[in-house]
Structure 1
């Protein structure tokens, strides 16, 4: 009888201590989710090396993470194309697609959208793991406060440049610019993987010259050679920006982007 009771107690404790396995596709989302799960679990980052979020091949270790996950949070199948097939075989109840209704998939660059995501993640976690609901809710409150403060700080820092003329190599930074009240930029390519034809380059250079564009922004995937070709003959500053921030947490990533934009506009 004693042995049965002891075994039952051990089983209960093991069950009580079990927490969900949460996997996030990219670092900015992983950072946000980590702030919600703090004190309960550490989510796993799927793309944890300097590789393209658009084009990658899953390794056995990554497939294992997905297989054992209770919750998988990804941007969108069209963004992480390497996940399209494997996620199509995962129960939708085990997934959060961040940009299910958003065409431009770089939504983590809009802090307000990340505040909304934090609520979605918290609600999902409480359904999966109700025993830790109080902690998730407390973490959500703290996360929302930090994100609100960050949003205000960044908008204030950029307020001086709201009338500045900006160009972007692709639409990757549109969420950041729009959410912070900056002018609609000249966009050379809708996607950074698009081919820059002679026609596109000439059209963009003409527009930048007429508008007296002060700054051309691009992501680090765009080579310096492509940027030099685009701005040759123009008096314009440029900035190649890391929008993933593999080695920093979300608040620092957004602060780094802000400082690079400001330096480009000075």
Structure 2
């Protein structure tokens, strides 16, 4: 009897001093800007897998067998919407993990300046903060073992986004009149005060709209022409304006240069600095 009691005591001592190691949650995210915002919340407490990390327009991402394998082996999949991540739907059939569709978040403003839906919501820093708040709550509910880490990381992440927002407002306070020829960049310009923003839908190629665009770009009212990185800048040289091209759709993830954590702050800061020439 004495030996049994000693054994029980020994086991209590052993297990009371034991550290239990939890396997990191495996979270799949469709594009790098969102993956970076997620990684800021989890840091090393979750493994973040990005499906489209080659940059360029996410609409043109071709699903690969490795994408299906990554999703099947994940605990959570985070994506924007089937209309944006058009190739995600077939990959989610029979998925048993937690599906997070950002388009269902009421706190996110998806509206474009001229009405309708613009899925590039993360370029509005207010949206970026709301996204992190809602994702933090979802991640904590799904993986309570990392709750303290996510809560602390959220505080730090929101401070970083606030600092980025202050930098943006300070540097772009006196932005000159600009012509925006990229639908995907609307959310970036929403919060810039005192700027004269002229939006032109380049997808509308009617003669009337082409004439309107030509007249506007030929005038002295516009100093800068804003394009996406994959648009042809040569078409606008004749107007003798400053042309700024943004890389904003989806950012290339170079595994050799570190993880996805810092991409959002780094790329967004570069976009802000690019517009200095338009002040």
Cα distance between partner residues in 2 of 1:234 and 1:39:
49
SS at match of 1:86: helix
**Structure 2 unmatched ranges of 5 or more:** 1-6, 111-116, 254-261
Deviation at 1:210, TM superposition (A): 4.6
Look up the SS of the partner of 1:149 in the other structure. helix
Deviates more, 1:28-37 or 1:208-217: 208-217
Change (3 A) 1:119 1:31: same
1:207 aligns with 2:216: yes
Cα shift readout 1:59-108 (whole Å, capped 9, x = no counterpart): 111111112222111122222222243347647x8222233462211111
Which 4+ residue blocks in structure 1 deviate beyond 6 angstroms? none
Contact 2:28 2:50 in 1 (8 A): yes
Confirm or deny: 8 A CA contact 2:172 2:192 kept in the other structure: yes
- Taking CA–CA contacts closer than 8 Å with sequence separation of 6 or more, which of the two structures ends up with the larger relative contact order? 2
Contact map agreement 1:19 1:129 (CA 8 A) in 2: no
Equivalences, count: 247
Unaligned runs of 5+ in 1: none
Indicate the SS of the match to 2:193: coil
Aligned to 1:186: 198
Aligned match of 2:231: 222
Structure 1: distance between partners of 2:197 and 2:220:
10
Output the TM-score relative to the length of structure 1: 0.82
Q: Is the 8 A contact 1:216 1:236 kept in 2?
A: yes
CA RMSD of aligned residues (A): 2.7
Q: Quick check: 1:214–1:236 contact (8 Å CA) kept in 2?
A: yes
**Residue 58 of structure 2: SS of its match in structure 1?**
coil
Q: Contact 1:165/1:211 (CA < 8 Å) preserved in 2?
A: no
CA distance in 1, matches of 2:65, 2:208: 43
Larger radius of gyration: 2
TM-score, normalised to structure 2, is: 0.79
**Greater fraction of residues in helix:** 1
1:71 counterpart (56, 70, 76): 76
Matches within 5 A, 1:102-251: 102=110, 103-161=117-175, 164-181=176-193, 183=195, 185-189=197-201, 194=203, 196-210=205-219, 212-225=221-234, 228=235, 231=236, 233-243=238-248, 244-247=250-253, 249-251=263-265
Question: Matches of 2:123 and 2:30 in 1, distance apart?
Answer: 16
